[in-house]
Chain A
Amino acid sequence: MAVRSTAWMRFRLRLEEWKESFLLTLRPWAGKIGWALLIIQLVLALYALAAYYPQGMRHYQAGFDWFYKYPVHVPPCWAVKKKAQPVRLSLQNVKPVVKTKTMNISYGNIRYVFKYYTLSYNKSFIYKGDALPSDSAMLLGLTIPGGKKILQAKIHIDLLRPDGTDFVFLDQTIPVSQYGNKSVITIRIGGATFNKTLIIHGRPVQVPVKMPYPISKYPIVATGPLSLGQIAQTLGKSMEKVFGTNPFKTDRPVPAGQALFAEVTPNGTVVPLKGRYTFRLSLMYLINETAMTPAQAREIESRGSLNFYFIAYPNCYGLAGTDTLARPVGLGLLLGLPYAFLLGFLVTFTSTFIGAIYGSFAGYWKDIRGEVMMRIADIFLSLPFLPILIVISYVYKVTMLSLAGLMILLFWAGPVIVVRSMALQISEQVYVEAAKAVGAKTSRIVFRHVFPQVFPYTLAIAVLSIPGIIVAEASLSLLGLGDPTAPTWGKLLQLAYDEHAVQNGWWWMYIFPGLALVIFSATFLLIGRAVEPLVAPKLQR
């Protein structure tokens, strides 16, 4: 007689059992919250992987263009009452007003025709923010067609403020390359000071200290003939006229990037100056007209030679602010999630799996083999975990996977003692003896009879030990020892610790990563505690 029992039916049966036990874990409040949190975090982690893997993740750790896009260490927006108005201004579509002036000069019997071209670009905006912007940046990409025909070039940039005062950024002659090279000038004004070695495209770059920070669309640190110190000097002088102090020289009562929009009230407080601001940029060329083709002359007149952006950064960003590398902390939290899952799951499940199999054998063999196995496990349990992890990752550069391997090597003995005492009880059961009587080999008895009984409980142990793994990784990262390319939460905390976020009051830099860590760990503790009573063995006291 053939028995009707398809694989599908059996699968349905299994599914029913799983569903039943899952619903049981939902009964306590811990289980409800835990599962809900897990689902939310899983969805977020999957989204992070889909949207940012792998370039986005690497970029978060090693990218350099965050300064261009985001403000530096600003708090989250919900924590800021008075908000600044972000300004993004470009001269891309502004038609220049061109003025020319021709000069004829005779030098001996040679006659020269010189021409002054003046290209003026003006653009206005209205600042209505209740607070000063956190910082301002200016990007000037100036391409001057070089060669012997251009004798001199000059640039003038200033900002006309609502109260009629005028901040001059630049009023400089630009040396012109004789060989037709282009000159790119990039400038950032403001209070963002930085002292850190960054890895850019695999090379360490020492970023200057207490200097207006240069940024660029290109991975080039300010090139060109203009020294940044000159900008600071020019702007400082004109600011000194308005405020009475030079923000570049003093101990920065107001960072220069904020000072552009600042007004000092009679009682000494600094408030934003609201109203119409106008950027004025003019380029002046002195050209040897006689040596120039008409096409070249047109190129100078065309505005393709100039890229100018001005950005006033908001004084808050998103739900979690930004850190000292101008990276959004919220994005960091999102990107850290897959890594937390990877490390936590990989390490705990692998090590408890190994420990469970090991413990099953140690419990099944009641002779000297079991004893020796227990001594070995005991030795591993007595090893000092964190110092060994620190030493090894201090000497060798670890990756996420090698770190996981190392942790598995250190943590596999965790469940052995409990599993062994369970296995001792199980191998006393009559059905184990029945299997032995039938002739089943040790491996079959352990894997088919002992291990499946132990397994649910080891799953609970694994889930409960996830927090320890995550915290250990964060601790390593805080010492600067984890995988340097992985944007884990520990890395965010390390930045906060290294940049003295506690002393400086940048609370969002360490509160949020820590909270993410706590919530992630708590999720598994909640689930584990809901599951544990269902699978916990009744060990004799």
Chain B
Amino acid sequence: MRWLVIKIVDFVIVLAAVTLIVAIIFTGPMSTFYKSQALQTVQMEMRAQSHQLTVAQNTIIGIAKGTVSPQDAADLINKLYQQGLLTKEERDKLLSGKVTVEEAQKIATALPKRLRAILTQQEFHAYGLDKPWYERSLKYFWNLLTFKPLNSTVLTTRYWPTQGSHNALDIVLERVPFSVLLFTTSSTLTVLIAVPLALWAARRPGSWIDNTVVAWSIFSVSMPWWWLAMVFIAFFTVKYHIFPQPWNVNVNFHDIKTLIDAAALPVFTVTILSIGDSAFRLRNIFLDIFNEDFVTVARAKGLPENMVLRKHVMRAAAPPLVTIVLFAIVLSVFSGAIITELVFNWPGLGRLYWEAIYAGDIPVVLELTYITTLLYLILRLTLDILYTLLDPRIKRA
């Protein structure tokens, strides 16, 4: 039992540490940046309200000088009070009209300062900047670990029936179907194609099919996915209008036909690319097994090739095969390729990352990171436990 407890403790430690680091990185440096952005917004807002401010100042001084009657200005004074620009005593004084010119001037000069303070406070609150960053990161960290809902600062749900929700988890989860449609489909396709391809290549090492698999694996690993996406878009949608052009399509889940049309090219591209790496890795696994003594013995004792494959090769290849397949398919649910999705104009989790970073929506970035990490670690833990239970060679130490 000891090994199991150790593994679970490990899992918790790594999850907590990753969450903490990410929370610190995403709140610490980002906050200075968004603070300056917030201050810029305040500046613009001040400029926009400068006229009303002047009117208010003139009115206040007018009351003191007696050029404006307090009754006429009552509405304005009350509004300023409600905005928090005047204190209660000041309001009462102004409304009664018993105010000296010096006092009025003092109030008038204080108005812009108060307005700036109020706007800054509002703006900081909107970005969640009104507390020091370490306090916020710790709060985010704890809320994430305990699965408390985080409120997004900018982004809202757009694709769900309940549009406009500020729950970060909702914002993340509403993109999952898009990711599933793109990445789970292509992972499944990849597995379906790559396994027979790898087996074929491994049985005849050095043949043209083997060389093709090796060469394509090199190319697919060395190119950025989004680059091939650009090339395919240019070829398949601009030059030949086989697929719809991504920038002309607005995907949502109401229009299934458009959705599938739009998903076709991304799925095709991602599948083609991920086949390279998977097929190569599987080929190496198969190749190793073909060179094992027990396969040679099985062949030597005259087993038909089919039997050798089924009984010996596949059984030995099963653990790594299951790992690759499980990892590919399960992780694809929460996976996103930030730039590939940008290029394809695909509203998956990858693009959400960029949208959230761009908008400064720290809670959404954190929630997204947390969920993906959690899923990855859970999967790793599960496989680890399964192997320890199933494989007689691994010591449970």
Contacts and interface: CB of A to CB of B under 8 A. Distances in A.
Q: Is B truly associated with A?
A: yes
Interface of A: 30, 375, 378-379, 382-384, 386-388, 390-392, 394-396, 467, 471, 474-475, 478-479, 493, 496-497, 502-503, 505, 507, 510-511, 514, 517-518, 520-522, 525-526, 529, 541
Nearest to B214: A30
B222 A390 contact: no
Nearest to B30: A395
B332 to A, nearest CB: 16
Contacts of A395: 29-30, 32-33
Nearest to A475: B339
Contacts of B30: 391, 395
Contacts of A511: 231
A532 to B, nearest CB: 11
Nearest to B6: A371
Interface of B: 10, 13-14, 17-18, 21-22, 25-26, 29-30, 32-33, 214, 218-219, 221-224, 226-228, 230-231, 233-234, 238-239, 245, 247, 338-339, 342-343, 353-354, 357, 365, 369, 372-373, 376-377, 393
Main secondary structure of the interface of B (DSSP, over half): helix
Main secondary structure of the interface of A (DSSP, over half): helix
A510 B231 CA distance: 8
B25 A392 contact: yes
A493 B338 CA distance: 16
Contacts of A471: 222-224
Contact of A379 (B14, B32, B218, B338): B14
A475 B226 contact: yes
A518 B18 contact: no
Q: Which of B17, B32, B233 neighbours the largest number of chain A CB atoms within 10 Å of its CB?
A: B17
Contact of A517 (B13, B222, B233, B365): B222
Given A475-B224, A514-B224, 19 more contacts: A375-B10, A375-B13, A379-B21, A382-B373, A387-B338, A390-B354, A391-B29, A392-B29, A395-B30, A467-B221, A475-B338, A493-B230, A496-B230, A517-B223, A517-B227, A518-B222, A521-B223, A525-B222, A529-B218
Contacts of A517: 222-224, 227
Contacts of B227: 474, 493, 510, 514, 517-518
Contacts, number: 115
Contact of B223 (A387, A502, A514, A541): A514
A309 to B, nearest CB: 36
Identify which of A391, A396, A517 gathers the most chain B CB atoms within 10 Å of its CB: A391
Contact of A384 (B22, B339, B393): B22
30 contacts: A30-B218, A375-B17, A378-B14, A379-B14, A379-B18, A382-B377, A384-B22, A386-B338, A387-B357, A390-B353, A391-B26, A391-B357, A392-B29, A394-B33, A471-B223, A475-B224, A478-B339, A479-B339, A479-B342, A479-B354, A493-B227, A496-B230, A497-B343, A502-B233, A502-B238, A507-B234, A510-B227, A514-B230, A521-B223, A525-B222
Contacts of A510: 227, 230-231, 234
Contacts of A529: 218
B25 A521 contact: no
Contacts of B230: 493, 496-497, 502, 510, 514
B207 to A, nearest CB: 14
Contacts of A493: 227, 230
A18 B9 CA distance: 46
Most A CB atoms within 10 A — which of B219, B223, B227, B231?
B227
Given A379-B14, A387-B353, A471-B224, A522 B219 contact: yes
A199 B369 CA distance: 36
Given A383-B18, A388-B22, A502-B230, A521 B338 contact: no
A475 B223 CA distance: 11
B338 A390 contact: yes
Contact of B238 (A390, A503, A526): A503
